[in-house]
A and B are shown apart, each in its own frame.
Chain A
């Protein structure tokens, strides 16, 4: 606490200390946000190139020329890696968590501001290292974002598996270090820097979601970091953690006795919690926004908290469901399968409670609310394909098909992105002092919701018909060639949806400079960030320390003067 207080006695004045190497969590949050925005455009451009290549495999494209199968796989690897790490982990947690969490708990900054700055710049370096993989001889690796050895462990296993793969692993290792620093900071801040009266059970659900996400990050990223270092050693120092004796390209490689499955266990021990790292903050934002714009308290606050805690807890016990077809002991499939079904229960509870929150509300349809409603819809659609994949016996048909691609894009890709959009439209006024354009926001929402469904729903049908993942062309397998019309439809849907994202970018930058000025509390919301100035001063509350008297979602309290009671208002006893 002393650290934050000392640092914040004076706001830095120089440009570099104020905007580049800033210690202010708000500036760092915005830096994370723009890093993720840059990354998402790279990732999206890659997905567009992949989609058009599948349909027109021999065409020449601007900048990249003709896409070869190995280039397609390099795009696929980089798309997944960029999206999972530098978008879905970076924006919700590093971006909005950083900006909003300290203000929502009434703290002047994060517990360790220097660590916070370090965490951002380490993430930035990781991103640059990752992008470098495109430009080295052989290009980016083709082993997919999951990087299964031996493909990822042997330099001669394919183009991009030389220096490109080393850079890829290094970038991920750097990202892990950054995330560990961030996680430590979030946990300490939440536990130690809460304002007077901000008990754990008065924390907004957003704070809970960032807090639980940080705990998952702390436990998961360490494992990935170690796994990555072992892989680097296998590749460059001649160890054999993951590689048995094999022959690649007619040459026997100098490894013996390693286990390819070891990597899969370590990777998914990180990889499954990572799914929740991506989606939990979205759940928090959806809860916050649904309650605000329904003008009703969140339905079942405690149930929501316990649901997130149990999702986090079970999230560490289900990694084996990625490995039903891997040659892992088939006995363990039973345990992983049952535990996976169990994790569906708290997810279902959250959905019920979101619907319960809107039930008998008085719903306002500002753009953040549209995205929160879209989040619920996508979460349901993406979630309901889970119980198919959680059954090993159905996985025999569905594993590594487009059914899986549709499932995880809906639930951890697009739903999480909708959480980020909701958060952007919701907190933009606080962050930049201006309102975003509602008309553009609505157009953006309607095209994006319809478009994402048009892209990812048919993928389930493709998967059921046996369309395997990670195929650069569908010309070699006769039954898959028949599915080409549906693939073509998806590509056109993707082109439209991607084009619509420029509406968002225009809105974002135009509003930043030209949008109407925002008041301190434009949404009539209750949590602490809306009690302070817009944008908040350097120490968040202008030298005052907020005192919290109420729960986070006191909307429509009978007998209260307004239809919302802020957390800092005098304590209210609702008259029933």
Chain B
């Protein structure tokens, strides 16, 4: 029985470890400025936890086999523990866990507390059951006010977010269903929701943030590779949660300017 148990625990441990180490399924290739740091922090955590995992599970398997009861096994040793050992492993674990945590803090801080870089492109994302809308303030750099009384989700576009078209600054506001971003430029994103809580999650951009009704949440991030990236809603928002899907197109600055100009022209 001891041998069978050791074999099972070791087998589970080694198979699990294989699929992590072989990176059969891993973080998607990143395409934003934060990728480097987040992935490095993930890898460090992964290596440390992986070593502890292997040591603890293989040790557990070994102990149950080594100290199984057999007719010739010596009597169990009579011991209530060892205070020195307790102090040693408590101290080591504390240093390890808290240290790991402090290492990861700087990126969190720079993303959340520092303002976006000068010249960042402004985008406002609005979530509603079950779609995303993206608004660009246009050449005047000002978002026109939106009003709930003007909202008509079934109409889509400007009406969906309740754009007040009587306001002069609304003339150049562009509302789209797909987010276009210029590469290598900071994005100053405002996140809003009109009904329930949604979450804008773009795995490749290492970006995730809840959109909460009643709050206007500011975030900034910088895409670093041209490409098309999928948005998945990551906060349960109702029966269509699984299909609240969107796209981010990261393009060159030139293509972005062309795209935005074309949208402005359509509006006129």
Contacts and interface: CB of A to CB of B under 8 A. Distances in A.
A376 B98 CA distance: 23
A345 B78 contact: no
Contacts of A377: 9, 12, 57, 60
Given A341-B97, A477-B245, A468 B195 contact: no
A22 B190 CA distance: 60
Contacts of A338: 98, 101
Interface stretch (B23-31, B117-125, B137-145, B259-267): B23-31
B207 A396 contact: yes
B169 interface: no
B212 A261 contact: yes
Interface stretch (A90-98, A111-119, A292-300): A292-300
A470 B241 contact: yes
A143 interface: yes
Interface stretch (B87-95, B170-178, B180-188, B249-257): B87-95
Interface string B99-128: 011001101100011000000000000001
Contacts of A151: 196-197, 236-238
Interface in A280-330: 294-301, 303, 325-327, 330
Interface of A: 68-70, 73, 142-144, 148-151, 154, 157-159, 243-250, 252, 257-261, 294-301, 303, 325-327, 330-331, 333-334, 337-338, 341-342, 344-345, 348-349, 351-353, 355-356, 358-365, 370, 373, 376-377, 380-381, 384-385, 387-388, 390-397, 399-401, 442, 446, 449-450, 453, 457-458, 460-462, 464-466, 468-474, 476-480, 483, 486, 555-558, 563, 574
Contacts of A143: 236
Contacts of B59: 355
A249 B46 CA distance: 44
Contacts of A468: 201, 232-234
Contacts of B149: 252
Given A348-B89, A355-B59, A480-B232, A248 B42 contact: no
B101 A391 contact: yes
A388 B38 contact: no
Contacts of B26: 461, 464-465
A477 B25 CA distance: 17
Contact of A70 (B24, B28, B239): B239
Interface in B6-63: 8-9, 12, 16, 19-20, 24-28, 34, 37-38, 41-42, 45-46, 48-49, 52-53, 56-57, 59-60, 63
B10 to A, nearest CB: 11
A176 to B, nearest CB: 23
A465 B64 CA distance: 35
B243 to A, nearest CB: 4
29 contacts: A69-B240, A148-B236, A151-B197, A151-B236, A157-B129, A157-B238, A247-B128, A247-B194, A248-B195, A297-B80, A298-B81, A325-B210, A327-B217, A341-B101, A353-B81, A355-B63, A358-B67, A359-B67, A360-B76, A361-B76, A392-B104, A396-B207, A397-B42, A450-B8, A458-B25, A464-B25, A466-B28, A471-B242, A558-B78
Contact of A144 (B25, B37, B128, B236): B236
A479 B28 contact: yes
B196 A401 contact: no
Given A325-B208, A341-B98, A380-B53, A247 B2 contact: no
A119 B195 CA distance: 39
B97 A478 contact: no
A361 B245 contact: no
Interface string B200-212: 0101001111101
B268 interface: no
A258 B215 CA distance: 11
Contacts of B8: 446, 449-450
Contacts of A390: 101
A399 B53 contact: no
Given A296-B76, A556-B76, A327 B215 contact: yes
Contact of A73 (B104, B199, B241): B241
Contact of B213 (A144, A260, A337, A358): A260
Contacts of B48: 387
A574 B212 contact: no
Nearest to A356: B81
B226 interface: no
Nearest to A341: B97
A388 B49 contact: yes
Per CB-CB distance, the 3 closest pairs between chain A and chain B, nearest first, are A244-B214, A466-B203, A300-B81
B68 interface: yes
Contacts of A359: 63, 67
A344 B67 contact: no
Contact of A557 (B78, B232, B242): B78
B157 to A, nearest CB: 15
Given A384-B52, A387-B45, A349 B89 contact: yes
A250 B152 contact: yes
Given A247-B195, A358-B63, A476-B242, A345 B90 contact: yes
A465 B104 contact: no
B63 to A, nearest CB: 5
A327 B90 contact: no
A401 B42 CA distance: 15
Contact of A461 (B9, B12, B19, B98): B19
Contacts of B199: 325, 400
A399 B195 contact: no
Contacts of B45: 387-388, 391, 394
A158 B238 contact: yes
Nearest to B246: A477
Given A296-B78, A355-B60, A349 B86 contact: yes
A248 B101 contact: no
Contact of B245 (A69, A395, A453, A476): A476
A202 B86 CA distance: 20
Given A345-B93, A394-B41, A446-B4, 16 more contacts: A73-B239, A157-B238, A300-B80, A301-B80, A341-B98, A352-B89, A353-B86, A360-B76, A363-B69, A377-B9, A388-B45, A393-B105, A401-B234, A458-B25, A465-B28, A466-B203
B79 interface: yes
A337 B101 contact: yes
B134 to A, nearest CB: 18
Contacts of B151: 247, 250
A327 B98 contact: no
